[in-house]
Amino acid sequence: MMKKIFITRELAGNAETFLSQKGFKVNVFQKDRAIKKSELLKEAADADALITLLTDKIDRKIIDSLPKCKIIANCAVGYNNIDVEYAKSKKIVVTNTPEILTDATADLTVALILACARRLGEGEKMMREGRFKSWKPQLLLGIELTGKTVGIIGAGRIGFAAAKRLKPFGTKIIYFDRNRREKFENELGAKKVTLNSLLKKADIISIHLPLSKETHHLLDKTNLKLMNRNAVLVNTSRGEIIDEKFLISLLQKKKIFAAGFDVYEGEPNINPDLIKLKNVFLLPHIGSATYEARSGMAMLCAKNVASVLSGKKPVTPV
Ligand code: DGY
């Protein structure tokens, strides 16, 4: 009997072909939208493996409906959409896609920082709306990176790759993390600081944390207001790490210079107040959206699935 793999949405690259050539039966959800829970319950019921996305909430009910499933391969580095402990208790392996998307996400972080610091969103909108009438000395003045302090919140792989890109702009790096990160200190001359001290000192703040109970609203009413008036804050990790409503109130009162969002609380719904603001730059969760990263992520999922279904160890277990 051919083993069945269910993929919750069409992926980039050649992962499906790879799996079919290995002799697996691959079913892909055919609609171009996130699969609904009721559809997932129906479609995945007899699957031996699932390839899921961050838009699929894999909770106890879903896990209980997968009697044959050996592996849930999440096509993302983050896995907050999966009840990992429960899956493990049911002897289901969970995997994610670390490393392959590090460069793509770090590139986008820098793009978001520059877009905020140099007001690229406002400039682009002005051009499209035909409002550029002449060069003028005070048109869309922004902030330079040279000489500024960059604060990295979450000093893992992506945080490091972002900091490494930002250092040559002539910035000083500080970081906040549970652990001491020697790579940050030895290669970038970075100093570990407390979260409050980072928020007070940094001109550019970038978040690179996984979402968990501990990091939910880590940036809240009490500490967000420590940021300085010229601070730029960007988030390419998960929206729920910031108390978004409170951040919006700071942006409305111009208490910081700007914020760049690739992720949102309650994604894909966007707080309408955010859209009204000029001092934000908004992206639709595209941190890892390069051909290289997305096809690599899909292939890594396929390799994890092929390994586990052949009785071998997963490549990148959670
Ligand atoms: C992830 O992998 O967790 C990103 O948010 C999407 O690639």
* Active-site residue, from 99, 185, 267, 292: 267
Q: Are 5 and 19 within 8 A, CB to CB? A: yes
* Active-site residue, from 118, 238, 240, 294: 238
In sequence order, what are the beta bridge partners of 95?
Answer: 73, 317
102-282 fold: Rossmann fold (3.40.50)
- pLDDT confidence band for 1 (50 / 70 / 90): confident
Q: Is the pLDDT of residue 274 over 90?
A: yes
Catalytic residue status for 238: yes
**Averaged pLDDT score across all residues of the chain:** 98
Q: What is the pLDDT of residue 305?
A: 98
Q: In the β-sheet with 93-95, what is the strand arrangement from edge to edge?
A: 25-28, 4-7, 49-52, 71-74, 93-95
Q: Is it true that 4-98+291-309 and 102-282 share their CATH fold?
A: yes
* Domain locations along the chain: 4-98+291-309, 102-282
pTM of the model: 0.96
Phi/psi at 93 (5° precision): -80, 140
d(Cα 94, Cα 263) in Å, to the nearest integer? 23
| Gap from CA of 288 to ligand 1 centroid (Å) | 6
Longest dimension (CA), the chain: 72
Q: What is the pLDDT of residue 199?
A: 98
Our mutation pick for probing the ligand 1 site, out of 105, 157, 295, counting the most ligand atoms within 8 A of Cβ, is: 105
Name which CATH class applies to 4-98+291-309: alpha beta
Catalytic residue status for 128: no
Q: Are 51 and 11 within 8 A, CB to CB? A: yes
